[in-house]
């Protein structure tokens, strides 16, 4: 059985009812078998109960003891304003001697005289003394429970809008000293509605300032009438005492902002900027990575620096792009790419540099380092990137063949990969700041020198500065914001990336994956399909070949490989060479362009596709001319045929006779053409002599007679013999 204690709270059945009764025990006497309780839901004085009755109710489950925390128990005396402390101390000094006189203070016969005496000693009224006593007992006999809760007075959260009968609120206007009748206007429901419309529509939606939105509200809702002046209408505002002041408008706007701060911020700056700049920064992204190599963040930024040409150092060039790859667990910079590639190939170069030797990487730009300074040359289990370069079908090899996952962040949520985003500021502050050619964050004012004219660093020199910064960060930078866990603190691990990486690999393992650089390079290249033709392997409009294909006769008609689709990996920067991926993903074959004089030679794929698109567009534009000319040609052909049909005479001969003798007639036509086609023949007249025409006619008739009787033909050319006989 539970023992009863002062300040316990009893809940009486039914327990599931929202109106269940709660009583606090404020006095307990086992000698007299009574206790005093006060109903927490009513404004009544304490009353007594029998301890035996309460105990019986507890045993029979008609009542139970519950954990009940009053609002006074959540308050702190030390944090109260000085004025409220004085008010509370004053009340306690007057009531202390009476509330400690238990149990007589609970009895009405004794309590009345005590209250009267307190009223006489203090300036309090009797209802106030009664109210303070009840608050003290309901709070569990806590001194701070007597504090007046002004924060709950006046209906918090509701607008106290004026009506027609409400007296003018607020401080009097200065103008009332001269004109007492101009007291101003109260904010009633109509004016408040106009203010909220102006706030939401003019300030939030149209992005006007508060002052401008207030002015637009006046000329929209507080117009007395319109007047015509010089043929134009102009609005006349209501008198100033009949419209609200700007400070009144600001007061109600401020209340609206506080009641819905997030909604107001979203409407004012938009969800994208709110997520980036105003969001609640709760949590620690580093804890998402359980071991080194589990998650790498990758992203790019444009360096705030103009560079000089590597070939003509006095000529400035553009700003390079920096791709960063960072291990989320240790904040170790695992890879970098600095160049001018901003498409997928730039991200692929960064990933390739991540998985390859950093000694060779630095050597290519003229920088010498030891393997111990930058040892990591591995890929992770997962890349976290935004919806940019890696969000395409070109990452097939990275995901399927190399087995690396890619997690894409939502658009406009750079805060979801805040680690790599924060490093962009590190580059600007620690490396780019004060370099010649730096682009100032502040807008360049008129007359300031152009930063492009100050560019002196080449790409290799700038890369050396950034790589040196990465080495310093990995090996020496103490990260003050890194949250060490208990195991790290116990073992004395320093928040330095290389120490965190080494400790994590030893104690927790890792997810790093190592690949051959050639395999890595080939799998990072984008892959599309080509087809075997008799002209070569056709890929995106260009034909390629290799020695194995020629030797095995891939391009010979009838070969079973003809028309087969192949997987081709290519570098978007060059069209000269591509790579043929073997069947079932096994093996690689380099392919060379068949036509060494092709116009795509030494061009990027984008340039070649642009040229092809231009040619295709020109062909489409020329198609109308071609179709028109073809229609005219067909029309002329049909006319010639129709005219020939009209001039053809019926011979009256059978089909067999018409066909027979074609060779002789052809020979005659050939002989006649030779007279005009002979290079040594000089024509003096385009028309044949009349005698010649007669001879030819006779020859044709004789030839036809001979053709009718083949037996009369000699062993020689009968057509020629007939022609010679006619001439003789």
Determine the distance from the C-alpha atom of residue 549 to the mean position of all C-alpha atoms in its chain, rounded to a whole number: 45
Highest mean pLDDT among 81-95, 178-192, 420-434, 712-726: 81-95
Would the pLDDT of 445 be above 80?
Answer: no
Widest pairwise Cα distance in the chain = 173
**φ/ψ (deg, to 5) at 299:** -165, 170
Would the pLDDT of 625 be above 90?
Answer: yes
Q: What is the mean pLDDT of residues 675-702?
A: 56
What are the DSSP E strand ranges found in 294-418?
296-302, 321-327, 333-339, 382-385, 405-408
Fold held by 287-507: Nucleotidyltransferase; domain 5 (3.30.420)
Owner of token pair 């009223």: 119
Owner of token pair 């291990």: 327
The DSSP secondary-structure symbol of 3 reads P
Report yes or no: 579 and 525 within 8 Å, Cβ to Cβ: yes
Would the pLDDT of 130 be above 90?
Answer: yes
Highest mean pLDDT among 83-92, 303-312, 522-531: 83-92
- What is the torsional sign of CA 665, 668, 674, 676? negative
| Tens of pLDDT, residues 536-547 | 999 988 999 988
Q: Name the pLDDT band for 373 (thresholds 50, 70, 90).
A: very high
| Tens of pLDDT, residues 142-185 | 888 888 877 677 666 566 777 777 888 778 877 877 888 788 88
Between strands 527-533 and 21-29, the pairing is: unpaired
Would the pLDDT of 602 be above 90?
Answer: no
For residue 272, what pLDDT is reported?
58
Residue whose C-alpha is closest to residue 161's, from 188, 185, 194: 188
Would the pLDDT of 698 be above 50?
Answer: no
**φ/ψ (deg, to 5) at 586:** -110, 120
CA angle, 188 then 190 then 195, to 5°: 95
Q: Name the pLDDT band for 716 (thresholds 50, 70, 90).
A: very low
Determine the distance from the C-alpha atom of residue 296 to the mean position of all C-alpha atoms in its chain, rounded to a whole number: 18
CA angle, 219 then 220 then 226, to 5°: 65
- More reliable by pLDDT, 261 or 52: 52
Other residues' Cβ atoms within 10 Å of the Cβ of residue 697: 11
| Tens of pLDDT, residues 566-579 | 888 888 778 888 88
Give CA–CA dist 293/287, Å, rounded.
Answer: 13
Determine the distance from the C-alpha atom of residue 90 to the mean position of all C-alpha atoms in its chain, rounded to a whole number: 61
| Tens of pLDDT, residues 253-290 | 888 887 775 565 565 556 555 555 555 544 456 777 78
> Would you list the DSSP string of 614-679?
HHHHHHHHHHHHHHHHHHHHHHHHHHHHHHHHHHPPP----HHHHHTTHHHHHHHHHHHHHHHH-T
Name the pTM for this structure: 0.60
Residues 6+ apart with CB under 8 A from 188: 161, 162, 163, 164
Give SS3 for 193.
helix
| Tens of pLDDT, residues 485-527 | 888 999 999 999 999 999 999 988 888 888 888 878 777 888 8
Q: Taking the domains of the chain in order of start, what are their residue ranges? A: 9-68, 72-150, 185-274, 287-507, 525-603, 655-727
**φ/ψ (deg, to 5) at 621:** -70, -35
Crossing angle for the helix pair 662-677 and 690-708, to the nearest 10 degrees: 160
Give CA–CA dist 173/617, Å, rounded.
Answer: 75
Buried b / exposed e over 701-727, threshold 16 CB at 10 Å, is ebbbebbeeeeeeeeebbbbbbbeebe
Q: Name the pLDDT band for 691 (thresholds 50, 70, 90).
A: very low
- Residue 502 structure tokens: 């080494």
Q: What is the mean pLDDT of residues 569-596?
A: 79
Give CA–CA dist 540/531, Å, rounded.
Answer: 10
CA gyration radius for the chain?
50
Report yes or no: 374 and 324 within 8 Å, Cβ to Cβ: no
Owner of token pair 């060059």: 574
CA distances from 34 to 12, 27, 139, 721 (A): 18, 8, 21, 159
Owner of token pair 């809702």: 221
For residue 713, what pLDDT is reported?
43
- Specify the range with the lowest mean pLDDT, choosing from 281-290, 338-347, 396-405: 281-290
* Average pLDDT value over all residues in the chain: 81
Would the pLDDT of 685 be above 90?
Answer: no
């Amino acid at each position: 059985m539970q023992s009863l204690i002062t300040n316990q709270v009893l809940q009486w059945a039914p327990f599931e009812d929202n109106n269940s009764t709660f009583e606090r025990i404020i006095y307990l006497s086992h000698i007299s078998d009574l206790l005093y309780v006060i109903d927490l839901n009513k404004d009544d004085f304490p009353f007594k109960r029998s301890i035996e009755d309460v105990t019986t109710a507890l045993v029979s489950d008609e009542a139970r003891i519950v954990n009940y925390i009053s609002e006074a128990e959540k308050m702190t005396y030390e944090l109260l304003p000085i004025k409220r402390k004085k008010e509370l101390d004053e009340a306690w000094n007057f009531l202390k001697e009476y509330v400690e006189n238990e149990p007589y203070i609970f009895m009405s016969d004794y309590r009345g005289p005590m209250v009267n005496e307190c009223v006489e000693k203090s300036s309090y009224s009797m209802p106030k003394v009664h109210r303070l006593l009840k608050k003290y007992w309901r709070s569990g006999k806590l001194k701070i429970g007597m504090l007046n809760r002004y924060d709950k007075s006046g209906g918090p959260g509701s607008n106290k809008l004026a009506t027609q009968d409400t007296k003018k609120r607020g401080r009097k206007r200065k103008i009332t000293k001269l004109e007492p009748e101009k007291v101003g206007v109260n904010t009633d429901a109509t004016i408040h509605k106009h203010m909220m419309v102006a706030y939401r529509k003019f300030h939030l939606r149209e992005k006007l300032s508060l002052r401008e939105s207030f002015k637009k509200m006046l000329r929209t809702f507080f117009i007395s009438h319109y007047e015509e002046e010089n043929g134009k209408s102009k609005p006349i505002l209501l008198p100033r005492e009949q419209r609200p002041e700007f400070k009144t408008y600001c007061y109600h706007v401020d209340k609206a902002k506080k009641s819905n701060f997030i909604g107001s911020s979203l409407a004012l700056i938009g969800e994208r900027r709110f997520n980036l700049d105003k969001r609640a920064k709760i949590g620690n992204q580093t804890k998402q990575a359980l071991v080194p190599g589990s998650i790498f963040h990758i992203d790019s930024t444009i360096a705030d620096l103009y560079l000089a040409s590597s070939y003509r150092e006095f000529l400035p060039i553009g700003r390079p792009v920096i791709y960063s790859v960072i291990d989320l667990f240790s904040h170790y910079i695992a890879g970098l790419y600095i160049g001018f590639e901003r498409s997928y190939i730039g991200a692929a170069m960064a990933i390739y540099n991540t998985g390859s030797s950093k000694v060779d990487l630095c050597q290519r730009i003229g920088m010498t380092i030891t393997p111990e300074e930058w040892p990591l040359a591995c890929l992770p289990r997962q890349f976290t990137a935004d919806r940019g370069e890696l969000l395409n079908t070109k990452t097939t090899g990275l995901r399927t063949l190399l087995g690396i996952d890619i997690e894409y962040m939502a658009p406009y949520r750079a805060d979801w990969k805040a680690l790599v985003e924060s490093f962009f500021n590190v580059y600007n502050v620690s490396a780019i700041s004060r370099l010649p050619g730096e682009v100032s964050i502040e807008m360049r004012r008129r007359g300031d020198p152009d930063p492009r004219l100050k560019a002196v660093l080449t790409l290799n020199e700038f890369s050396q500065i950034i790589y040196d910064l990465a080495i310093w960060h990995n090996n020496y930078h103490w990260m003050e914001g890194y949250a060490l866990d208990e195991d790290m603190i116990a073992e004395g691990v320093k928040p330095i990336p290389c120490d965190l990486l080494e400790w994590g690999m030893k104690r927790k393992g890792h997810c790093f994956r190592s690949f051959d650089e050639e395999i890595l390079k080939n799998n990072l290249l984008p892959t599309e399909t080509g087809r075997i033709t008799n002209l070569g392997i056709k890929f995106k409009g260009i034909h390629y070949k290799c020695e194995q294909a020629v030797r095995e006769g891939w391009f010979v008609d009838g070969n079973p490989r003809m028309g087969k689709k192949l997987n081709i990996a290519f570098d978007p920067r060059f069209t000269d060479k591509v790579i043929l991926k073997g069947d079932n993903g096994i093996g690689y074959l380099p392919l060379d362009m068949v036509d060494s004089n092709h116009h795509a030679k030494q061009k990027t794929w984008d340039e070649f596709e642009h040229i092809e698109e231009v040619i295709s567009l020109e062909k489409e534009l020329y198609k109308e001319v071609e179709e028109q000319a073809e229609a005219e040609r067909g029309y002329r052909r049909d006319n010639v045929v129709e005219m020939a049909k009209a001039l053809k005479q019926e011979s009256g001969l059978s089909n067999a006779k018409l066909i027979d003798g074609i060779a002789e007639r052809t020979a005659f036509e050939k002989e006649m053409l030779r007279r005009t086609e002979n290079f040594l023949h000089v024509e003096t007249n385009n028309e044949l002599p009349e005698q010649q025409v007669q001879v030819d006619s006779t020859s044709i008739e004789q030839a036809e007679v001979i053709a009718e009787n083949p037996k009369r033909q000699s062993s020689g050319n009968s057509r020629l013999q007939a022609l010679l006989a006619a001439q003789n």
